[in-house]
Amino acid sequence: MIIGVPKEIKNHEYRVGMVPASVRELINRGHKVIVESMAGSGIGFTDKDYLDVGAQISTKATDIFAQADMIVKVKEPQAAERAMLRHDQILFTYLHLAPDLQQTKELQHSGAVCIAYETVTDNKGGLPLLAPMSEVAGRMSIQAGAMALEKSRGGSGMLLGGVPGVEPGKVVIIGGGMVGANAAQMAIGLGADVVILDRSLDALRRLNSQFGSRIKAVYSTADAIERHVLDADLVIGGVLIPGAAAPKLISRDLVSRMKPGSAIVDVAIDQGGCAETSHATTHQDPTYIVDNVVHYCVANMPGAVARTSTFALNNVTLPFITKLAELGYRKALLADEHLLKGLNVMHGQITCDEVAHAHNLPFVEPKTLLN
């Protein structure tokens, strides 16, 4: 199989779909890998590094899309990239289609086989290709929130951990999954007062076992969210429903009543965000203010720590890339029910129920198309 690795073109996105070590694995198995020139430069890899492991280098993304049987990326394809996709070509990357109708329709129009990292599952019910980026984003959310609270950025001027004689800030984390647990770990490390809300009692028990009395694990209800958000200095939105748009748990009215100078870091923004006042921002212009509340809603947070993120992502994507290359997408998807969960769009049809529901579009059972 010919595998193409284009350079990411989203704003301040420095990650790359495959590092040289991953490319070497595929080439050793007899596949051909074409990498766009400078694709790995953002994390310190040169074209020579890729050439040394047997990759071919192309100076044009158009040539890669034209030749490759499978495109391996990190972020969702931008409009110019979607226009280059072709019928029956495999696209393997993060997609986050539920809040993005335009991308969904253009991927349908392309006829490509679009497999989303974020909906691939494992035998424990987890999301193994999303997990490492959730770990990164959760940890980064506290850094981002701490900066958003600085006075020069519109915040209240509070140091999250306080100092002797001054109380620390209150961090409220909505969602006790991978993002929430990693955010809590960082917030505790800074000395903040931490509350985590979740609707899963199993998750709350796990968090209580992990962190003990250093957090308050609270069952999530509308009343609990309102009570704790109104008292928060920093709110982390870490809610995820796999494949679906994030629920709007923080209303516009609630934001208007939050403490002036408080901050929201909406990690759920890739799936539309969990605050009604959230809209996607970029690393270049990461924050905006609504009702005196600073909002940080960068849609590719892990891109800021691109080297760590790329290696963490490659560790989990490589086995699936290898399987798709070795078997072809039909056999690979039919042989692996967890990879099959990643199939979102195929030959113009929506094959992910949550995406179809989000856009009120017809859903087609993926095995129907594959068979």
Q: Active-site residue numbers?
A: 96, 270
* Type of residue found at 61: A
* 3-class DSSP assignment, residue 223: helix
Residues 187 and 171: beta-carbon distance below 8 Å: yes
Q: Where are the beta strands (DSSP E) in the chain?
A: 2-5, 32-36, 56-58, 70-72, 90-93, 113-116, 170-174, 193-198, 215-219, 234-237, 263-266, 287-290, 293-296, 343-346, 349-350
Residues 190 and 142: beta-carbon distance below 8 Å: yes
Quickly tell me which residue has 């595998």 as its tokens: 3
Task: Lay out the sheet containing 349-350: strands in order across.
Answer: 56-58, 32-36, 2-5, 70-72, 90-93, 113-116, 343-346, 349-350
Give the whole-angstrom CA distance, residue 113 versus residue 21: 26
* Type of residue found at 74: V
Give the whole-angstrom CA distance, residue 232 versus residue 193: 10
Beta-bridged to residue 281, according to DSSP, are: 298
Residues 368 and 150: beta-carbon distance below 8 Å: no
Question: 148 vs 152, 284, 287, 300, 310, CA distance in Å?
Answer: 9, 14, 8, 17, 26
User: Is beta strand 70-72 parallel, antiparallel or unpaired with respect to 193-198?
Assistant: unpaired
Residues 344 and 119: beta-carbon distance below 8 Å: yes
Give the whole-angstrom CA distance, residue 24 versus residue 314: 13
**Which tokens hold the place of 236?**
């982390």
Alpha-carbon 282 to chain mean position: 14
Give the whole-angstrom CA distance, residue 147 versus residue 38: 31
